[in-house]
């Protein structure tokens, strides 16, 4: 369990996230992920990185149960800083990052995929921000990199999800493949990228980041301020408590966890 890195082929690093059962990351998990991505980008022999996950889905966001069992706001602050650090590590990675998405990609998962340079997804993949139902806000910055503006707003207000096929039609998912073939497809794209000159790839990544119309770092931190406001007003805790209580009842009745739809 945790974050691991492999070098399956010359020029390619594969960072794998494994936090069962649903890859809802604890605070330490976000920092581990950030460190792994940074290390991959710092390796002069790496020309492309693949970000993938094991288990039921790519990422279910923040571990809400950790927030519930930690007194005060320490875990919430840690999660928000951890998410910002991990998202920035993907965006600022000196080499291109390909996200291989399967199953659910929610909340923080959208932050990771939205900051990647390319996304390959399984037919079973769904993307969305359940934040409003969890007493929080955030990652609209990154969803805006995957969908058009009005769809972004509708998805944010309703907490609904969109499929990989829908995102492919919008041009934000590079390729949709049968479930279980995401990593192979991501490696295929990474292999094509890694065949290029490493120095030029790093220059290209820096140039593309430099011409982005939105500063993703500042935009996301601005969003997080409203999560703090929701928490301080009490509405955030109320919805997180309701979500945790609902999960607990489902666990006791043997219907499984609902950390993700």
pLDDT value for 70:
84
In whole angstroms, give the CA distance from residue 73 to residue 230: 12
Strand 126-128 and strand 161-163: the pairing is: antiparallel
Phi-psi region of 242 (alpha: psi -120 to 50; beta: other; left: phi over 0): alpha
224-255 exposure pattern, b = at least 16 Cβ within 10 A, e = fewer: beebbebbeeeebbebbeebbeebeeeeeeee
Measured between alpha carbons, how far is 11 from 3 in angstroms, rounded to an integer?
Answer: 20
Domain annotation for the chain: domains and CATH numbers: 2-179+216-252 (3.90.226.10)
Nearest to 257 by CA among 1, 75, 60: 60
Three-state DSSP state, 98: strand
Q: What is the pLDDT of residue 247?
A: 64
Task: Determine the 3-state secondary structure of 173 from DSSP.
Answer: coil
39-104-109 Cα angle (round to 5): 35
The residue whose two tokens read 């990351």 is 25
**Predicted TM-score of the model (pTM):** 0.92
Per-residue pLDDT 10s for the chain (261 aa) are: 899 999 999 999 999 999 999 999 999 999 999 999 999 999 999 999 999 999 999 999 999 888 888 888 888 889 999 999 999 999 999 999 999 999 999 999 999 999 999 999 999 999 999 999 888 888 999 999 999 999 999 999 999 999 999 999 999 999 999 999 999 999 999 999 999 999 999 999 999 999 999 999 999 999 999 988 988 888 877 887 777 677 656 554 554 433 333
d(CA 202, CA 187): 19
The SS3 call for residue 162 is strand
For tokens 């390319």, name the residue.
118
């Amino acid at each position: 369990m945790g974050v691991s890195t492999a070098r399956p082929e010359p020029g390619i690093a594969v960072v794998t996230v494994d936090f069962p059962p649903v890859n809802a990351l604890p605070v330490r998990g976000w920092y581990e992920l950030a460190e792994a991505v940074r290390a991959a980008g710092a390796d002069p022999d790496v020309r492309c990185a693949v970000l993938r996950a094991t288990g039921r889905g790519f990422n279910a966001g923040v571990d809400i149960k950790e927030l519930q069992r930690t007194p005060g706001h320490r875990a919430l602050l840690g999660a928000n800083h951890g998410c910002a650090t991990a998202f920035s590590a993907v965006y600022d990675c000196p080499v291109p990052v390909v996200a291989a998405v399967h199953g659910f990609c929610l909340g923080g998962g959208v932050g990771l995929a939205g900051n990647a340079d390319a996304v390959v997804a399984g037919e079973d993949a769904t993307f969305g921000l359940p934040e409003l139902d969890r007493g929080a806000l955030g990652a609209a910055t990154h969803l805006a990199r995957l969908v058009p503006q009005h769809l972004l707003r509708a998805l944010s207000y309703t907490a609904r999800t969109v499929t990989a096929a829908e995102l492919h039609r919008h041009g934000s998912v590079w390729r949709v493949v049968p479930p279980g073939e995401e990593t192979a497809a991501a490696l295929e794209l990474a292999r094509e990228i890694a065949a290029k000159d490493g120095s030029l790839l790093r220059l290209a990544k820096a140039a593309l980041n430099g011409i982005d119309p939105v500063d993703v770092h500042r935009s996301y931190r601005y969003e997080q301020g409203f999560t703090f406001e929701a928490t301080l007003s009490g509405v955030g805790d109320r919805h997180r408590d309701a979500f945790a209580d609902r999960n607990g009842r489902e666990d006791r009745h043997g219907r499984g966890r609902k950390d993700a739809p």
